[in-house]
A and B are shown apart, each in its own frame.
Chain A
Amino acid sequence: MIKAKGVSVRFGRKWVLEDIDIQLERGEFVVIAGNNGAGKSTLLRTLMGIITPGKGEITFESGITKKKIGFISDKYSLYENFTIKQGIDFHSRVYGVKEFDDRLLRHLDLDENQKIKTLSVGERVLFLFSLIMSQKPGIILIDEILHAIDPFLRDLFLEYLLEVIERYNSTVISVNHVFSEIETIPNRLLIMENGRFILNETTEALKEKVKKIETREEIGGEIPILYKKEVLDYKEYYVYPFDEGMRKSYDYRYIDLNLTEIIKSFIGGYYVKKRISRGS
């Protein structure tokens, strides 16, 4: 379990996270999405303890110490001057890892004496993940790494991630831009905008609450529209929150959406709001 209450983070004068309240149970797989600059990476870093919140507090269930939390980011590096072996030794010593699981590393065919700074981004990410695996983590925080690694490594990563989840019932919080491979995995979606959460729902519930309407008609205020898109000569309306009653009242074809589409509609809505507030 990981719980954040009233967490706010300020950089200089600007509050980049405001009043963050979440509670996640063990074994949840959460995706955090949002426009660039919404504060997603900052939130992850704050949960990890890299950034100290100006207000609020973060608690973990008993038994989860910092040693049981793993953090991966494409910008994240260990000590670059370390060799792979030194990195493994250091991390193992610090996190109390008795036996390092090198299966993932063997896929990469690296020399244990080469320095970390010689690794590509993808190799670094997988190296870091294998370190985390050995921690037997209760919580894994993933920060936008999927687009930085090639499809083969991505697949490999996912396999081992699922294994770790199954073994240790880890909670995963993932900040993502690309979802295709993991469409069906997350059980909860959080969307951030300007440092706050604007959405916190299970994916199951969202699938029922977000629908798309394709039509040539203009739809007025009777149906709650998240986002509107003009495609050729017809329009796409993304509806939220949808309820079954609307099928009877408004005779449109309501199309089901996958996770990626749902996220896009929320973010699209943000950019529309931004345009409107700028008066263009």
Chain B
Amino acid sequence: MLRKEFHEVLKQSLFYLAVVLAIPLAITLIYKEVDSYFDSLFVMLQFSMLLFSGFMGVSLFLSDKNQGAEDYMLSLPYSRLRLAAMKLLPRLAVSAVIYLFFVVLYLWYGRSVILDYGFISTSVFYWLLFFFGVSFSAASDGYMKTIGFALLGLLSMVLLVFLLPKAVILLKGGSPSIFPFKMDAIPIPHLSLSVFLLLPLPYFISFILAFKKWGYYSKANYNREYFKFFIPIMAVVFVVSTVILSILAGAENKQNYYLTSKNYLLKTDFYSAKLMAEGGEVKLRYPHGSIRPIYDDVKYTYFTDSGRDNEYLKLLRIDQDKFEVEMLYEKQTTLQPNWFYKNNIYFFETKIVVHENTDDSQLSAFVFIDTESKAIKRIQTRNILPGNYHNPHIFGANRAPGSGKISWLIYSEWSDRYPLLKMWEDGKIEDLGILSGSWPYYINGILIYTFEKEIILGKIGEKGFEILQKAPLEKGIDFSAARVYRYSRFDFNPISTKEIIFSKTRYEKKDIRIEYSRFDMETLQFIPIDRLTGKRSLNLLVTPSGAVYGIESRREGDITKTQDTRRYLDKIYRIEGEKVTLIKEFPKSKVMQPGDDFWLSSYGAVLKQDNQVSVYAFPDLNELKFN
């Protein structure tokens, strides 16, 4: 029997090879280009080999049927399993040979031809079509019907490929997209894609088990047996694959923490977010990960949700008393950072404009939402940023004396400069004609920017910008140390402070020395803060109540590998004018491991090290227990 099968299969393959080798030859002779022989051979092979493997798969029993010998075949003194094996083996062997031919040709000559769907996809589909052909080879009489069944089977498997990530997301408490043929991305290492190779197995195994009982007269019997095996086996495989993928996804699932104004802990990962009270009780679940808390007021935690692939934008808030999530705004667009302005949230909507070499975000609208009434007002900006100005950000608000009209101060980017602009409530944009060398500030009603080697302070009045004073920009001064001011509230009265803190980096031979100075807004003098000077750089945090904290932290590990880096919080100081007080020195981790990290909010700090999460709340940084 084996001999007969080999003969038949060999005949079919030789015929196939002859066609594959001959047609490109004919084409070459017609077009008289010798080079094109291998090109057209390769294309011919890539197209036709899928048909060949599918045909090899489905044709296990069809030649017996066409010769009227199905009864005879089933009456032979072989077990059904042996029969199937004797039919499978020659076809498997021949398919492997053709595949090898393809591999050799690809390696030797595999440059991009007209249809280059890639080595991996061709290989995967080649063997998938073979095994699905085999799995359905007994399902029907006749080539067309059997091929139809096999394709349907393949389609069902494709559906399951889409459903698997959705199942993982559900298992992790997230909410996947409902549309069945949309792939929901989950963070898994590339090797874990091999888990998907488990999915074709139930089709093949069910074929083996059902064929043991197959009778010639009743395809209904065979198909019924097939399903009786297939459904439980596939259920098991699907569940096992989901579990394996969940575990693999767990390794890559980064968690983030945020302490809210009412000292609840918001824990987010790729899939979902949980709000926990002290003691560990989960008060709220939100079935999407990748959310960003942006601001808290006394009652609400405001956050954005832009989907796993930035496919949408939502602005939401958590009611910290009722433990409810409320949506304030939803749109298909990208968001700029938000600012609060009394009861309103302000943000820009931007459009991504695709240029030749870069993508650019251009202003498209300015939106404000009243947080009490939830009313939305939208101003379409007349998109008149001069060409080449891109990535606009708001950094301040101003009320014009006299008319009382509100305008917002915007900086954008151009080359290595930051052009400054002003936008009115009606959407009209004015170029202030200032090119700042660094990020500008608007503090105490005064605009501060740098130009060449000077710090320039001025007022924005009805007639435009008025320079008040200039001060020399000392070499080495990092003007952006105080950028944390950017993320706090802007009131109608802009940030009022007597001073801004800057850092100065000095290089002494191989050593780095960092000095912190207060820039006095009245005397325009830099006054060093000796206590903070040292080798460590500090980040500054300003809370809504106006307290200023210095954060001393460090990063370990290879910076270029993001999975590897670990961040540790060492000390937090309170800075009040000249006075610098160490509030907390945090316990060192015993064993450094990947995933060690810390998170700061205006309300406290969350540390993760030694597989433990510890939470500390401002102002005294007392530990809160959330386990």
User: B216: CB under 8 A from chain A?
Assistant: yes
User: From residue A209, how far is it (CB to closest CB) to chain B in Å?
Assistant: 35
- On whether the beta carbons of B4 and A52 are closer than 8 Å, the reply is no
Given contacts A10-B221, A12-B220, A66-B77, contact A77 B72 (CB under 8 A): yes
Kindly list chain B residues whose C-beta atoms are within 8 Å of the C-beta of A76.
71-72
Partner of A11, one of B67, B76, B220: B220
User: From residue A21, how far is it (CB to closest CB) to chain B in Å?
Assistant: 20
- On whether the beta carbons of A12 and B77 are closer than 8 Å, the reply is no
- On whether the beta carbons of A52 and B213 are closer than 8 Å, the reply is yes
- For residues 50 through 97 of chain A, which have their beta carbon under 8 Å from a beta carbon of chain B? 50-52, 54, 65-67, 71, 73, 75-81, 90, 93-95
Kindly list chain A residues whose C-beta atoms are within 8 Å of the C-beta of B75.
48-50, 66, 71
Kindly list chain B residues whose C-beta atoms are within 8 Å of the C-beta of A79.
4, 64, 67, 69, 72
Partner of B215, one of A50, A65, A75, A94: A50
- For residues 16 through 53 of chain A, which have their beta carbon under 8 Å from a beta carbon of chain B? 42, 45, 48-52
- On whether the beta carbons of B72 and A12 are closer than 8 Å, the reply is no
- On whether the beta carbons of B74 and A12 are closer than 8 Å, the reply is no
- On whether the beta carbons of A51 and B216 are closer than 8 Å, the reply is yes
User: From residue B158, how far is it (CB to closest CB) to chain A in Å?
Assistant: 30
CA distance A42 to B78 in the complex (A): 20
CA distance A79 to B212 in the complex (A): 22
- On whether the beta carbons of A94 and B218 are closer than 8 Å, the reply is no
- On whether the beta carbons of A90 and B4 are closer than 8 Å, the reply is yes
Kindly list chain B residues whose C-beta atoms are within 8 Å of the C-beta of A65.
77
- On whether the beta carbons of A11 and B77 are closer than 8 Å, the reply is no
Kindly list chain A residues whose C-beta atoms are within 8 Å of the C-beta of B117.
none
CA distance A153 to B68 in the complex (A): 23
CA distance A42 to B221 in the complex (A): 14
- On whether the beta carbons of A50 and B69 are closer than 8 Å, the reply is no
- On whether the beta carbons of B71 and A11 are closer than 8 Å, the reply is no
User: From residue B559, how far is it (CB to closest CB) to chain A in Å?
Assistant: 67
Kindly list chain A residues whose C-beta atoms are within 8 Å of the C-beta of B64.
79
- On whether the beta carbons of B71 and A50 are closer than 8 Å, the reply is yes
B side interface size, CB within 8 A = 23
Partner of A12, one of B3, B4, B212, B218: B218
User: B1: CB under 8 A from chain A?
Assistant: yes
User: B214: CB under 8 A from chain A?
Assistant: yes
Kindly list chain A residues whose C-beta atoms are within 8 Å of the C-beta of B220.
11-13
User: B507: CB under 8 A from chain A?
Assistant: no
User: B179: CB under 8 A from chain A?
Assistant: no
Please classify how large the interface on chain A is, using the bins under 10, 10 to 19, 20 to 34, 35 or more. Answer: 20 to 34
- On whether the beta carbons of B71 and A73 are closer than 8 Å, the reply is yes
User: B217: CB under 8 A from chain A?
Assistant: yes
Kindly list chain B residues whose C-beta atoms are within 8 Å of the C-beta of A94.
1, 76-78
Residue interface mask A92-133, B partner, CB < 8 A = 1: 011100000000000000000000010000000000000000
- For residues 32 through 91 of chain B, which have their beta carbon under 8 Å from a beta carbon of chain A? 64, 67-69, 71-72, 74-78
- On whether the beta carbons of A77 and B216 are closer than 8 Å, the reply is no
Kindly list chain A residues whose C-beta atoms are within 8 Å of the C-beta of B76.
66, 94
User: From residue B229, how far is it (CB to closest CB) to chain A in Å?
Assistant: 14
Given contacts A79-B64, A81-B67, contact A51 B72 (CB under 8 A): no
- On whether the beta carbons of B77 and A78 are closer than 8 Å, the reply is no
- On whether the beta carbons of B69 and A77 are closer than 8 Å, the reply is yes
- On whether the beta carbons of B77 and A95 are closer than 8 Å, the reply is yes
Residue from A54, A75, A79 whose CB has the most chain B CB atoms within 10 Å: A79
User: From residue B74, how far is it (CB to closest CB) to chain A in Å?
Assistant: 4
CA distance A45 to B520 in the complex (A): 104
- On whether the beta carbons of B77 and A67 are closer than 8 Å, the reply is yes
Kindly list chain A residues whose C-beta atoms are within 8 Å of the C-beta of B71.
45, 50, 71, 73, 75-77
Kindly list chain B residues whose C-beta atoms are within 8 Å of the C-beta of A78.
69, 72
User: From residue B597, how far is it (CB to closest CB) to chain A in Å?
Assistant: 62
Given contacts A50-B71, A75-B71, A78-B69, contact A11 B1 (CB under 8 A): no
User: From residue A251, how far is it (CB to closest CB) to chain B in Å?
Assistant: 52
Which residue in chain B gives the minimum CB-CB distance to A65?
Answer: B77
CA distance A248 to B621 in the complex (A): 119
- On whether the beta carbons of B218 and A11 are closer than 8 Å, the reply is yes
User: From residue B515, how far is it (CB to closest CB) to chain A in Å?
Assistant: 89
Residue from A12, A52, A73 whose CB has the most chain B CB atoms within 10 Å: A52
- On whether the beta carbons of B218 and A80 are closer than 8 Å, the reply is no
CA distance A51 to B72 in the complex (A): 12
Kindly list chain A residues whose C-beta atoms are within 8 Å of the C-beta of B221.
10-12, 54
- On whether the beta carbons of B67 and A80 are closer than 8 Å, the reply is yes
User: From residue A272, how far is it (CB to closest CB) to chain B in Å?
Assistant: 29
CA distance A151 to B243 in the complex (A): 71
Which residue in chain A gives the minimum CB-CB distance to B222?
Answer: A52
Which residue in chain A gives the minimum CB-CB distance to B1?
Answer: A94
Kindly list chain A residues whose C-beta atoms are within 8 Å of the C-beta of B67.
77, 79-81, 117
CA distance A49 to B214 in the complex (A): 10
Which residue in chain B gives the minimum CB-CB distance to A94?
Answer: B76
- On whether the beta carbons of B77 and A77 are closer than 8 Å, the reply is no
CA distance A48 to B76 in the complex (A): 9
Residue interface mask B1-44, A partner, CB < 8 A = 1: 10110000000000000000000000000000000000000000
- On whether the beta carbons of B77 and A80 are closer than 8 Å, the reply is no
Which residue in chain A gives the minimum CB-CB distance to B215?
Answer: A51
- On whether the beta carbons of B69 and A51 are closer than 8 Å, the reply is no
CA distance A57 to B436 in the complex (A): 93
CA distance A175 to B77 in the complex (A): 22
- On whether the beta carbons of B218 and A77 are closer than 8 Å, the reply is no
User: From residue B87, how far is it (CB to closest CB) to chain A in Å?
Assistant: 13
Kindly list chain B residues whose C-beta atoms are within 8 Å of the C-beta of A90.
1, 4
CA distance A93 to B213 in the complex (A): 25
User: From residue A132, how far is it (CB to closest CB) to chain B in Å?
Assistant: 11
Kindly list chain B residues whose C-beta atoms are within 8 Å of the C-beta of A75.
71
Given contacts A77-B72, A79-B67, A80-B67, contact A50 B77 (CB under 8 A): no
- For residues 205 through 226 of chain B, which have their beta carbon under 8 Å from a beta carbon of chain A? 212-218, 220-221
Which residue in chain B gives the minimum CB-CB distance to A51?
Answer: B215
CA distance A96 to B125 in the complex (A): 41
Which residue in chain B gives the minimum CB-CB distance to A41?
Answer: B217
Kindly list chain B residues whose C-beta atoms are within 8 Å of the C-beta of A51.
215-217
Kindly list chain A residues whose C-beta atoms are within 8 Å of the C-beta of B72.
76-79
Kindly list chain A residues whose C-beta atoms are within 8 Å of the C-beta of B78.
66, 94
Which residue in chain A gives the minimum CB-CB distance to B216?
Answer: A50
User: From residue B219, how far is it (CB to closest CB) to chain A in Å?
Assistant: 9
Kindly list chain B residues whose C-beta atoms are within 8 Å of the C-beta of A13.
220
- On whether the beta carbons of A50 and B74 are closer than 8 Å, the reply is yes
User: From residue A220, how far is it (CB to closest CB) to chain B in Å?
Assistant: 45
CA distance A162 to B215 in the complex (A): 32
User: From residue B98, how far is it (CB to closest CB) to chain A in Å?
Assistant: 24
User: From residue B226, how far is it (CB to closest CB) to chain A in Å?
Assistant: 14
Kindly list chain A residues whose C-beta atoms are within 8 Å of the C-beta of B215.
9, 45, 50-52
Residue from B4, B74, B75, B218 whose CB has the most chain A CB atoms within 10 Å: B75
CA distance A226 to B205 in the complex (A): 52
Residue from B1, B68, B215 whose CB has the most chain A CB atoms within 10 Å: B215
Kindly list chain A residues whose C-beta atoms are within 8 Å of the C-beta of B213.
52
Kindly list chain B residues whose C-beta atoms are within 8 Å of the C-beta of A42.
217
Kindly list chain A residues whose C-beta atoms are within 8 Å of the C-beta of B3.
93
Which residue in chain B gives the minimum CB-CB distance to A128?
Answer: B72
Kindly list chain A residues whose C-beta atoms are within 8 Å of the C-beta of B218.
10-12
Which residue in chain B gives the minimum CB-CB distance to A42?
Answer: B217
> Considering the complex of A and B, which 8 residue pairs feature the smallest CB-CB distances, nearest first?
A66-B77, A12-B220, A51-B215, A77-B68, A11-B218, A50-B74, A80-B67, A67-B77
> What are 24 sample pairs from A and B whose C-beta atoms fall under 8 A apart?
A9-B215, A10-B218, A10-B221, A13-B220, A42-B217, A45-B71, A45-B216, A48-B75, A49-B74, A50-B75, A50-B215, A51-B217, A52-B215, A66-B77, A73-B71, A76-B71, A76-B72, A78-B69, A78-B72, A79-B4, A79-B64, A80-B68, A94-B76, A94-B78
Further pairs besides A11-B218, A12-B218, A80-B67: 12, Cβ < 8 Å: A10-B218, A12-B221, A42-B217, A45-B71, A45-B216, A50-B71, A54-B221, A66-B77, A77-B71, A79-B4, A79-B72, A117-B67
Q: Which residues of A contact B (CB under 8 A)?
A: 9-13, 42, 45, 48-52, 54, 65-67, 71, 73, 75-81, 90, 93-95, 117
